[in-house]
Amino acid sequence: MLGKWLGKKSAPENDETFTAAEREQLQQFRIPGYEGPLPAAWFSRQGQQARLSLPFSAGPQVLEKLQQDAQLGHYQWQLDCQVEKLPNSQPELPLIYGNVIVISSGKGGVGKSSVAVQLAVALAENGASVGLLDADIYGPSLPTMLGGADEKQQINDQNKMQPHLRHGVYVSSLGFLADSKDAAIWRGPMASAALQQLFRDTAWPRLDYLIVDLPPGTGDIQLTIAQKLPVTGAVVVTTPQNVALADAEKGIAMFRKVGIPLTGLIENMSHYHCPACGHEEAIFGQHGGRKTAESHQVPLLAQLPLASPIRQALDQGQPLLTAEPQHPLNAAIREMATAVAAQLYQQAKKPV
């Protein structure tokens, strides 16, 4: 009764914290590639403004579940990505290369280079500073997929090669230095030396991520990468068919033997997507990538379709993300980029 006469009021609501129910709901929120709930410190709010702060690259599509949530959707959500430089295999080298992700495959023909290109473009679309190194020196295809194959790389006053800026990505490739019809007939040691020179003698800007497109297989160049370059993580690309999966397993084993963290597996050409009717057919088999990932205890980061619009865009030197940003097929590519960046970060932060 005394409280009534004294005008006692309930404690004011804190405009900078979430309610208990909202915090519980945030614990259920997930993003591709990150296992389990996100740390509570990554969520903040002030009044009706709410923010998700991530230490890795992600696209605005990760906010959709928050924006559509019955309890959390009334906030005006913003995404803030500040990419953290992670430990790598050569800690004595400067961190100007950012987080180095090598894209590998046990065999050719699985679409490794197209995955590398689309990953790089998607990360750049999210606002990250991204480099792309074409280490597939026997068959450099990135100039074709990114355009500008006839534009040669220039040498600056410091005798460094200037990377091309294509679709928001800084690209260095032997394909920009030699005639596109010339064959690179090099023995292993010469090829490995050329790769190191291409990496170190390119005038890279300060990067968040450097994507390295390796040649297929498990030979000299892959060993050079493991021993000489500051690698943060490796991604193995495969298709669902048994012959590709057997070679992918060799790639997984190789990275583990040389001590390179395995970020995960990407299953390319997971199914055929008909552009006319939208029908999907698993022409190379089903669940092969998932079973291989589970048996080797590595994350399955993405399952990308075999689709004519993706192939046509790359053939024309205009990745689908930039040629048709609203195309439905881009959703899987953007999700892949978030999954790779998130898993790369989470693995680096796991206690040894």
Give the residue ranges of the annotated binding site for ATP. 106-113
By the 10 Å C-beta count (0-12 exposed, 13-18 middle, 19+ buried), 92 is classed as exposed
* Beta-carbon count within 10 A of 153 CB: 20
Residue stretches of the annotated binding site: 106-113
Q: Are strands 49-54 and 43-46 parallel, antiparallel or unpaired?
A: antiparallel
Length of the chain equals: 352
What's the rounded Cα separation, in Å, for the pair 32 and 339? 5
Who contacts 263 (Cβ-Cβ below 8 Å, separation ≥6)? Answer: 101, 233, 234, 235, 299, 301, 340, 343, 344, 347
What's the rounded Cα separation, in Å, for the pair 131 and 231? 14
CA–CA–CA angle 288, 246, 293 (5° rounding):
45
Q: Outline where DSSP puts E strands in 96-245.
A: 99-104, 130-134, 164-166, 169-173, 209-213, 231-238
Residue at token pair 């410190």: 41
